[in-house]
């Protein structure tokens, strides 16, 4: 029996089952978060292009814009009740570009190129570390039974913070701290080597198991401190808009300085992870026998 002999509705259903839902059936609210994600990818890639054109301030600004857009798309999706598996996959793709590839290439064009192959290897290590960090994060989010500490701490430096940190040499360069330009061109290569070492360090922090305070714990801000906290945020944003590179440089250095204190607070509150929890953390789910044996040795 051909489609002409079928009722119109049946023919439409058969056709739709082969090619998926029609575009007109997708609500507009489902498209908005994905459009924000696409704009974030465009901003990150544009930042790379601007870096190759030696327009570094605009390049870094585009990378930061990409990070901002990438940070709000998930919240917009939850607010509009427009979350989807497609959006999750798009967001992961955007994260790798905006927090891994774009900062690495901008930093390479700005200074790491003077270290030649060593600079390129450092950029590769950072970009790959960002990808590994994001993959581990996705695995841990999908865990059925999450331990309590996962709601308060990240495992390793999160990818957005890594992008902020790895660009610190660029912020300092914008502020006139490019020491090599005053000492001589030969010294710039040594500065590039130091930047390469710093880049590898940030890549290591991304994939490390250092507990990093996430700021997501409930009850973190008392009710009486809510208004002062809002004023502090407003002041920070105002300073960021007026003294962008100074504030970003200070923020990056301050963030690095807080890492040991966050790890110490986690160790004091939770102690070490049992062996089976360590396996779960890395996404390797052991069987019940392994878990019982691990618990017996604790």
Q: What is the pLDDT of residues 188-227, one digit of tens each?
A: 788 899 999 999 999 999 998 888 887 665 556 677 777 8
**Predicted local distance difference test score (pLDDT) of residue 138:** 76
pLDDT band at residue 181 under the 50/70/90 scheme: low
Instruction: Give the per-residue pLDDT at 298.
Output: 44
Q: How far is it, in rounded angstroms, from Cα 139 to Cα 150?
A: 13
Share of the chain above pLDDT 90, in %: 33
Question: Which pLDDT score, from 0 to 100, does residue 285 have?
Answer: 47
For range 224-238, the mean pLDDT: 85
More confident residue, 283 or 51: 51
In contact, 210 and 159? CB cutoff 8 Å: no
Q: Around 21, how many Cα atoms within 13 Å sit in the side-chain half-sphere?
A: 5
CB neighbour list of residue 263: distance below 8 Å, 6 or more residues apart = 210, 211, 212
| Average pLDDT score over residue span 5-28 | 53
Tokens 């790798």 label which residue?
96
List the structure tokens of 86: 């497609």
What's the mean per-residue pLDDT of the chain? 78
Q: Tokens for 99?
A: 């927090």
Q: Residue 121 and residue 123: Cα distance in Å, rounded?
A: 5
3-state secondary structure of 211: strand
Do 85 and 32 meet the contact criterion of CB atoms below 8 Å apart?
Answer: no
Q: Which of 279, 78, 39, 71 is nearest to 164 (CA)?
A: 71
Q: What is the mean pLDDT of residues 117-145?
A: 85
- DSSP annotation string for 156-211: S--HHHHHHHHTHHHHHHHTT--HHHHH-HHHHHHHHHHHHHHHHHHHHHHHS--E
Which parts of the chain are beta strand (E)? 153-155, 211-213
Which pLDDT does position 143 carry in this prediction? Answer: 63
Backbone angles phi, psi at 213, to 5 degrees: -60, 130
CB atoms within 10 A of CB 27: 10
Residue 101 DSSP code: I
Q: Can you give the pLDDT at residue 247?
A: 93
What percent helix, strand, coil does the chain show, rounded to 5?
80, 0, 20
Cβ–Cβ under 8 Å, residues 47 and 62:
yes
Token pair 């130091």 is found at 194
What whole-number distance in Å separates Cα of residue 248 and Cα of residue 110?
17
The count of residues in the chain is: 298
Average pLDDT in the 63-71 region?
A: 87
Which of the two residues, 177 and 192, has the higher pLDDT score? 192
Residue found by looking up tokens 């963030």 in the block: 255
What is the C-alpha separation between 43 and 28, in angstroms, rounded? 23
* Of residues 199, 163, 140, 174, the one with CA closest to residue 69: 163
Q: How many helices (H) and strands (E) does the chain have?
A: 14, 2
Q: How confident is the model at residue 276 (pLDDT cuts 50, 70, 90)?
A: very low
pLDDT of residue 256: 92
- pLDDT-derived band at 186, boundaries 50, 70, 90: low
pLDDT-derived band of residue 286, with 50, 70 and 90 as boundaries? very low
Which residue has better confidence, 115 or 286?
115
């Amino acid at each position: 029996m051909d489609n002409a002999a079928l009722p119109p509705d049946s023919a439409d259903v058969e056709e739709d089952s082969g090619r998926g839902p029609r575009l007109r059936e997708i609500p507009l609210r489902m498209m908005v978060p994905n459009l924000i994600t696409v704009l974030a990818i465009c901003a990150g890639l544009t930042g790379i292009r601007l870096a190759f054109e030696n327009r570094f301030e605009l390049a870094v600004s585009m990378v930061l814009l990409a990070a901002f857009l990438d940070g709000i798309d998930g919240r917009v999706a939850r607010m509009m009740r427009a979350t989807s598996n497609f959006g999750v996959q798009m967001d992961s793709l955007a994260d790798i570009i905006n927090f891994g590839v774009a900062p690495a290439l901008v930093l390479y064009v700005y200074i790491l190129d003077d270290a030649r192959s060593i600079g390129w290897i450092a950029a590769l290590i950072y970009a790959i570390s960002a990808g590994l960090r994001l993959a581990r994060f996705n695995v841990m989010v999908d865990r059925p039974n999450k331990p309590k500490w996962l709601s308060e701490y990240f495992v390793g430096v999160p990818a957005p913070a890594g992008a902020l940190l790895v660009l610190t040499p660029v912020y300092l360069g914008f502020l006139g701290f490019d020491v090599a330009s005053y000492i001589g061109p030969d010294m710039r290569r040594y500065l590039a080597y130091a930047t390469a070492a710093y880049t590898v360090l940030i890549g290591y922090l991304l994939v490390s198991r250092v507990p990093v305070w996430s700021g997501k714990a409930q009850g973190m801000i008392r009710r009486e401190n809510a208004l002062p906290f809002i004023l502090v945020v407003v002041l920070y944003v105002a300073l960021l808009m007026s003294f962008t590179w100074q504030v970003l440089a200070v923020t990056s250095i301050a963030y690095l300085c807080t890492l040991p204190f966050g790890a110490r607070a986690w160790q004091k509150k939770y102690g070490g992870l049992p062996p089976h929890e360590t396996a779960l953390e890395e996404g390797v789910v052991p069987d019940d026998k392994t878990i019982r044996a691990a618990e017996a040795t604790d």
